[in-house]
Amino acid sequence: MASRGEFSSRTAFILAASGSAIGLGNIWGFPIKVASNGGGAFVFTYIILTFLLAYPILMAELVIGRHAKADTVKSMAKISSDKTRWLGMSTGYWGMLTASLILSFYAIIAGWMVAHALGSLLSVAGVSESWFVSDSLARSAVFCVIFFVLTISVVANGVSSGIEKWSTRLMPILILIIVLLIIYIATLPGAAEGWKVYLQPDFSKVTDPSLVLDALSQAFFSLSLGVGTMMVYGSYISKSENLPRLGAAVAAMDIGIAVLAGMLVIPAIYVAQHNGVVIYDDAGNLIESTGLIFNVLPALFNTMGAAGGIVSILFFVLMSIAALTSSISMLEVPVAYATDSHDVPRAKAAWLVGIAILVFSILLVLNMSWLFGKVVNFATEFSEPLIGILFCFFVGWVWRRDQLLGELQEGNPQMQETLFWKIWPNYVRFVCPAIVLALLIRSSGLLNF
Ligand code: TRP
């Protein structure tokens, strides 16, 4: 077997895994869900649910991965019993397929972000940017290819000189850009209104089941759960690390950036409204999310005069970076399988698998109107939660408890006395699967919340 990579330090893992978690889901999805779900009430529910539901499942993935030190298929086989091996391996394969499907649509949206970043740059330089910022088949296809080439190039270089190197470079830049933009937007007229909406929770909404379930699925998607990404990243963690602490750091980073992104996007929407940009449709609802990012915000940047160009570049570079550190973690799932289970050299695996998924992306671009939404729903509303339940099932019911404890004791010899060990095993056994099942039932439309 080709030698496996390992993250060179704790920080490297935290930045890479946070890079996976922090993506379009945080900077685009989260603020928009906040804006359409009662402001601060959603933020509050989301934070609680991330710790109560998503963090325990993140831990399940990390601990399986670090125990097996292998791709998702081998890892799941390793913790299975003889009778459940087929199910474990199928879960691993299915995770891989889901990661690939998510990458196929994610890369298209990410491509638009890169196109807008380049378009803003050209417009500041005085060159016409209209091809880059208006929707067309050609633009989607070209930038999807560009985004794939970026993603594949990073993954082809391996864990420490690819994924780790780029995550540790890009994540600090991402945080810096968010903070700069928050400060700038906060000084503009209209921003105060947005801050009010964001920070004043309407607690009467906290008990609204559809808000709770929206927050749940957001928490799940945002931590990149249910495809095996965190399992594979977990397999590159050294045995001397204390896993529950690392997982908590990743969850905290993910929440932190989502909350920061809200401080940027929500005030920005209200500044746009103040400047005369329409943000509500005729029915009084907030404009749908693609419109907000690709029309409302650019319209806002246009009203900002000279600063607008720079702000626009920064904003779309931010989006592109967030997307790239996530997309590499998606591609890593099938690539790890090719290298671990089939001994394909890493670079070759990255290009072969990457190009295969790219071909599917182009199919999506060509069939956007009917296929895109279906793939998004199948992968995120159905597959991710179901695989999440299976991971919990394996950790809670199948994996031998002494081996699970043994794995957690690596890097934390006192594990047995910790609060984590007293609560978590039964929690992933009963509570997590039950709640995620509720999520699934809702998205399958059986219950009408
Ligand atoms: N967490 C990422 C984001 O917020 C997106 C994501 C969802 C993801 N599922 C994933 C990333 C699986 C990697 C693997 O944008």
| Interval between CA 334 and ligand 1 midpoint (Å) | 15
User: pLDDT by residue (tens digit) across 238-267?
Assistant: 999 999 999 999 999 999 999 999 999 999
Which of 147, 218, 224, 321 best tests ligand 1's pocket when mutated (most atoms within 8 Å of CB)?
A: 224
Q: Is residue 1 part of a domain?
A: no
Query: How remote is the CA of residue 432 from the centroid of ligand 1, in Å?
Result: 19
Instruction: Measure the CA–CA gap between 366 and 361, rounded to whole angstroms.
Output: 9
- For the segment 269-295, what is each residue's pLDDT rounded down to a tens digit? 999 999 999 888 887 778 877 888 898
Pocket of ligand 1 (CB under 6 A): 20-21, 23-26, 99, 102, 221-222, 224, 227, 229, 326, 329-330
Q: What are the pLDDT digits (tens) for 78-121?
A: 999 999 999 999 999 999 999 999 999 999 999 999 999 999 99
Residue 116 within any structural domain of the chain? yes
Residue in the structure block whose two tokens are 């190039």 = 153
pLDDT at residue 446 greater than cutoff 70: no
Residues 6+ apart with CB under 8 A from 229: 20, 61, 99, 329, 330, 332, 333
| CA-closest candidate to residue 21, choices 261, 358, 337 | 261
In 275-379, alpha helices (H): 289-291, 297-302, 306-342, 346-366, 373-377
Residue 449 has pLDDT above 80, yes or no: no
User: Does residue 3 lie within any of the structural domains?
Assistant: no
| Residue 2, domain member (yes or no) | no
Atom number of ligand 1 nearest to Cα 323: 15
Task: Please check the confidence at residue 327 and state whether its pLDDT lies above 50.
Answer: yes
CB 262 within 8 A of CB 195: no
Q: How far, in Å, from the CA of 441 to the mean position of ligand 1?
A: 22
- The H-assigned helical ranges of 51-84 are 55-68, 72-79
The Å distance, Cα 126 to ligand 1 centre, comes to 36
Name the residue at shortest CA distance from atom 6 of ligand 1: 224
Atom of ligand 1 nearest to the CA of 326: 11
Domain span holding position 98: 10-443
Domain assignment present for residue 305? The answer is yes
Give the residue whose CA is nearest to atom 12 of ligand 1.
224
Total count of domains within the chain: 1
Asked whether residue 448 is assigned to any structural domain, the reply reads no
Name the residue with the closest Cα to ligand 1, atom 4: 25
On whether residue 37 sits in a domain, the answer given is yes
Which of these, 317, 391, 418, 354, lies nearest to 156 by C-alpha position?
354
Report pTM: 0.96
- Residue 270's DSSP bridge partners are none
d(CA 243, CA 436): 23
Compute, in angstroms, the gap from residue 141 CA to the centroid of ligand 1.
21
How far does residue 128's CA lie from ligand 1's centre (Å)? 33
Instruction: Give the CATH number for residue 235.
Output: 1.10.4160
> What's the gap in Å between 90 CA and the centre of ligand 1?
21
What's the CA-to-centroid distance between 253 and ligand 1, angstroms? Answer: 14
Q: Which of 20, 332, 391 to mutate to test the pocket of ligand 1 (most atoms within 8 A of CB)?
A: 20
Structure tokens at 343: 């001994």
Q: How confident is the model at residue 447 (pLDDT cuts 50, 70, 90)?
A: low
* Average pLDDT estimate for 196-202: 86
Q: Which atom of ligand 1 is the closest one to the Cα of 384?
A: 9
Asked, for residue 5, whether it belongs to a domain, the answer is: no
